[in-house]
Chain A
Amino acid sequence: MSNSLSKEEAKSKIDKYAADILRPMQSHGGLELWVMLLALGLIMYVFAYFIQLRDGLGVTAMRDYVSWGVYISNFVFFVAVSLVGMLISAVLGLLKQDWIKPITRVAEVVALGFVMVAGLVIVNDMGRPDRLMNVFIHGRIQSPIVWDITVITTYVTISLLLFYLPLIPDLAFAKKRLKNMPVWQYHLFNILSLGWIGTPEQYKILHKGIRLLAILIIPVALAIHTVTSWLFAATLRPGWDTTIFGPYFVAGAFVAGAAAVVILMYILRVNYKLKDYFTDFHFDKMGQLLVLVSLVYLYFNLNEFLVPAYKMKDADAVHLHTLFSGKYAVLFWGVQIFGMIIPIIMMLFRRFRKPAWLAGIAVFVLIGAWLKRVIIVIPTLLHPHLPIQNVPEAFHQYFPTWIEVFVTLGSFVMALGIITALLKIFPVIPIWELAEEEGLTEEFESYE
């Protein structure tokens, strides 16, 4: 197939792919330490959650006013981060942005890790998780909660398929190439590769399946975060009662997700030694993407805060003053300045889109994105339209207890655990797509 490369060159190129991309699946430098850290986090989580389960939600700081605390803020964040799978593998893929190819699997893994745990975060917020089934038995399709459950389940399924389908040729490839694979892994790859031998017919079917999923995931992903925003916007509350919440959430989600992918790319570049795949060029492009979605998000923020602030309706005024100059001012301005404005300005310059710089900036953006969810959820709850009479003074404040902190950390541990497992068991870059791009499909399939 390849015109420009000789047979020898083509072979050595594929061999390099195999060596570079498959090697980290078997050499686990630093993995034990990382897994131990995760295990420790998981133990803390189990301990904290056990206490919450035994004593009830009273062990959290949530009371009659703030009934959605860090758990729900965290849930919104998890759903947000998972949206990046759709942005990168579907939107950019369909737009024929070929530079995105090596990054698609990383994005899909991030999406899977976060969306799978998002459901659990909701269960953690329930006082009686044993009654979870009632949501399915008695849920009413008139309620946004039921829509949310529906779209999240759908999104998990599509994400799984969109992770799995592009993996099939690579599984067959890895099965042939990897010596002394553990037996379970060999069987797993054998079954999952569905007898892939790389016939043109198989390639045709595979492309068709991936294309269908890529198209389907766009409306579903938009729905998942729009519906999540409706959980707030369908309520009559200052700060939530706004018509732009859907696109505002989606834009914010792209920011969080793109930042998470940049960070993971950097870790893989260093730890998996993938400099030749996640190159300066890729970081530059991801930096452009991140600054683009951040600018869109900034634009939504202007609308979301400036318009009500210009009018200052009574109820909005209380809310906005808390954010602008009241109890939440430090957090609000910190997030807006260090999580959005400064990163945007920096990323406009090429030198800050170099890998290490960009990864550092992405950390700020991601932390800002998490805190932003706290700002969206909690201050609004502190100012109901109809205040409760004679409430204890403590109900007017909210600061998470250590139980909430550990349970929330636990959700990160689980998401990172899923991401780690997927990136250790499977090749992190779609090798066959690289080969296809270079016209080396024949070489890719021909190894015996």
Chain B
Amino acid sequence: MENTSSRLVVGLLAVLLLSSFSVFAQSEWKVEDAKSKMSNPIQADDASLKEGKALFKTNCITCHGDPGKNNGLPLVPKPSDMANAAFLSANSDGAVFTKMTDGRITMPSFKAVLSEKERWKIVNYIRSFDENKKVASTVTAVKKEGQTLGVPYQLSLNYNPEESSLVAFVRGTLTDGNLAPASDVEVGFFVKRYFGDLPIGDRGGVTDENGMIKAAIPTDLPGGEEGKALAFAKLNDVDTYGDVSAKTEVSVKAVEIINLMDERSLWTVSVMAPWWLIFTYFGILIGVWGTLGYVVTLLFKLKKAGV
């Protein structure tokens, strides 16, 4: 008897445990073992990392934020920071690949958007943040004639009005104090707008071997009556390069600024009401109250007629 009841208790506990586990499992995103064990068919070389990074920028950064900055969107559940050590150690390459492929609720499925190869390249890029398995590094410091390039970095911005383009030129400081062009530095281009900075030039990119990168300015951007706008470039990785930016005035499209409050309309103040409305309103008002005034004079006449 005692045995049965203790078994019952154990059974109950087990059910409780299991059910709480299944609740827990809802927030934990598990990937089947078989899929988790898939290995990455794409070599994690410089080219694949670079492409993976670009793909990540266009497809994932809006929600997940910059890797390592923990600045993803405040969604529930939260999109993990892809450079988070706990995330990276809990998820094998196959798991990351599967999650990206299948999606879950707010996390979109990229099965139809990205090819399998592209997805694996993104996995390579994500894995490059894993301290334990660092395969290759995105080179940030360049060796030059035995010297190392480092801070402070400089950025100059050149505007070409004919082509309507910007060229950013990045230089770092050599050990001997001289400046040298820095390649593979990530630069972003923006135009200042009323409510924030508008990224232009395909969200930027990395400098070439001459330390340069070019970005086109969309010429149909409205730029006030003078057709001017303020463009600027900055080095995205503040931790490595410091807070470096440069700005310049550029020509965009001139537009006539229409102040909607300047014309006669239904939405302005009373004195700016449309003429037809003013005439109708006051016409009726004067007509009706004029007649009423006349009726009141009749009353005086009436009184006079009585004496």
Contacts and interface: CB of A to CB of B under 8 A. Distances in A.
Given A147-B281, A212-B291, A213-B295, A141 B273 contact: yes
Interface stretch (B49-57, B77-85, B135-143, B264-272): B264-272
A201 B306 CA distance: 9
A212 B266 CA distance: 34
Contact of A141 (B270, B299, B303): B270
Overall SS of chain B's interface: helix
Given A139-B270, A141-B281, A212 B305 contact: no
Contacts of B296: 161
B225 to A, nearest CB: 29
B50 to A, nearest CB: 41
A141 B289 contact: no
A201 B288 contact: no
A208 interface: yes
A150 B282 CA distance: 11
Interface in B270-307: 270, 273-274, 277-278, 281, 285, 288-289, 291-292, 294-296, 298-299, 301-303, 305-307
A315 interface: no
A165 B294 CA distance: 13
A212 B270 contact: no
Contacts of A213: 295
B288 A216 contact: yes
Nearest to A195: B306
Contacts of A161: 292, 295-296
A396 B268 CA distance: 34
B289 A154 contact: yes
A209 interface: yes
Contacts of B267: 142
Give the interface size class of chain A: 20 to 34
Contacts of B298: 205, 208-209, 212
Nearest to A142: B266
A105 B294 CA distance: 23
A150 B295 contact: no
B278 to A, nearest CB: 7
B303 A195 contact: yes
A161 B278 CA distance: 27
A445 B289 CA distance: 33
Nearest to A194: B303
A216 B278 CA distance: 21
Interface string A125-169: 000000000000001111000010010001001100100010010
Contact of A158 (B274, B292, B305, B306): B292
A328 interface: no
Contacts of A168: 302
Nearest to B295: A209
Of the candidates B267, B278, B281, the one having the most CB atoms from chain A within 10 angstroms of its own CB is: B281
A140 B261 CA distance: 14
Contacts of B307: 195
B301 A154 contact: no
B305 A202 contact: yes
Of the candidates B266, B267, B294, B299, the one having the most CB atoms from chain A within 10 angstroms of its own CB is: B299
A43 interface: no
Contact of B306 (A140, A194, A208, A216): A194
A140 B266 CA distance: 9
A289 interface: no
A141 B305 CA distance: 41
Contact of B305 (A140, A157, A201, A220): A201
Nearest to A154: B288
Contacts of B292: 154, 157-158, 161, 216
Interface in A168-218: 168, 194-197, 199, 201-202, 205-206, 208-209, 212-213, 216
B93 to A, nearest CB: 39
Given A158-B292, A195-B306, A201-B305, A209 B299 contact: yes
B303 to A, nearest CB: 4
A220 B303 contact: no
Given A139-B270, A220-B288, A194 B278 contact: no
A192 to B, nearest CB: 10
A199 B289 contact: no
A92 to B, nearest CB: 21
A150 B266 contact: no
A194 B270 contact: no
A146 B269 CA distance: 13
A212 B294 contact: yes
B299 A212 contact: no
Of the candidates A141, A165, A201, A206, the one having the most CB atoms from chain B within 10 angstroms of its own CB is: A141
A142 B306 contact: no
Contact of B285 (A150, A194, A202): A150
Given A139-B270, A154-B289, A220-B288, A212 B306 contact: no
Contact of A196 (B268, B291, B302): B302
Interface string B124-148: 0000000000000000000000000
Given A161-B292, A216-B291, A140 B302 contact: no
Contacts of A216: 288, 291-292
A230 B277 CA distance: 16
Given A140-B269, A213-B295, A199 B305 contact: yes
22 contacts: A140-B268, A140-B273, A141-B273, A142-B266, A142-B267, A142-B268, A142-B270, A142-B274, A154-B288, A154-B292, A161-B292, A194-B303, A194-B306, A197-B306, A199-B305, A202-B305, A205-B305, A206-B302, A209-B298, A209-B302, A212-B294, A220-B288
Interface of A: 139-142, 147, 150, 154, 157-158, 161, 165, 168, 194-197, 199, 201-202, 205-206, 208-209, 212-213, 216, 220
Q: Nearest 5 A-B pairs (CB), nearest first?
A: A195-B306, A201-B305, A209-B298, A194-B303, A140-B270
Interface of B: 266-270, 273-274, 277-278, 281, 285, 288-289, 291-292, 294-296, 298-299, 301-303, 305-307
Given A142-B270, A209-B298, 11 more contacts: A140-B268, A140-B273, A141-B273, A142-B266, A142-B267, A142-B274, A154-B289, A194-B306, A195-B306, A208-B298, A209-B299
